[in-house]
Amino acid sequence: MPVSHPHTPTPRVSLTLATGLALALGMLSTQSASAEPRTYAIDPEHFSIGFLTEHVGYADTLGMFLKGQGEFVYDEQTRQLHSGTVEIATDSVFTNHDERDDHLRSGDFLDASRHATIVFEATGFEAHSDSEGTLEGELTLLGETRPVTLAVTLNKAKAYPFGHEQHTLGLSARTTIARSDWGMTYGVDNGLVGDEVELILELEAIRQ
């Protein structure tokens, strides 16, 4: 008679644990691979740079800069900003009044012939929620560099519905500066032009 051997049970628990570990490691690996900084280029066709400042106490003057560019390196999953730069052409200032625009380009204000660009360099970002955060950086204006803080809102993060159809971030940013901190003092003492200037940035940034 054949000798019967005791049945060796299949190590189901061990296989289940091994499978679970493999799946977990695979998920972690996928997350690590996707959680990485990416470069985002600001779309110049959807980059609005505005400012508001008081005029003789009667009303605020609303102006724009018509030419700007920039990009930043950002990790959407960890919400970490690695770097960022924005450059604005000073001679592109526009307030819908030719004489005033020429005055703003003069040495009394932007001194555009000597300082062709306003530059913002990001130095740090703190996320307060999935859609809001605080951006720290250095603003160079009239050859002087000073720290600034901007409140940033993420409006949308999704593939664009037409055109380039790339993943795009829609962002709003606000800050208020005292222009005299950069040496732009024209009209401050006599109250003709407000010292405080609200800066308004609305942009779409395309993931590269």
- 63, part of any domain: yes
- What DSSP line would sit under the chain, residue for residue? -PPP-PPPPP-HHHHHHHHHHHHHHHHHHHHHHH---EEEEEEEEEEEEEEEEEETTTEEEEEEES-EEEEEEEETTTTEEEEEEEEEEGGGEE-S-HHHHHHHHSTTTT-TTT--EEEEEEEEEEESSSSEEEEEEEEEETTEEEEEEEEEEEEEEEE-SSTT--EEEEEEEEEEEEGGGGT--TTTTTTSEEEEEEEEEEEEEEE-
The total of structural domains in the chain comes to 1
- 18, part of any domain: no
- 148, part of any domain: yes
- 155, part of any domain: yes
Torsion of CA 37, 42, 43, 48, to 10 degrees: 150
CA–CA gap between residue 79 and residue 128 (Å, rounded): 10
- 25, part of any domain: no
- 14, part of any domain: no
- 26, part of any domain: no
Residue by residue, pLDDT tens for the chain (208 residues) are 344 444 444 444 343 433 343 444 344 343 444 569 999 999 999 999 999 999 999 999 999 999 999 999 999 999 999 999 999 999 999 999 999 999 999 999 999 999 999 999 999 999 999 999 999 999 999 999 999 999 999 999 999 999 999 999 999 999 999 999 999 999 999 999 999 999 999 999 999 9
- 23, part of any domain: no
CA–CA gap between residue 112 and residue 107 (Å, rounded): 8
Q: What is the CATH number of the domain that holds 170?
A: 2.40.128.110
Range of the domain at 189: 36-207
What pTM value is reported for the model? 0.83
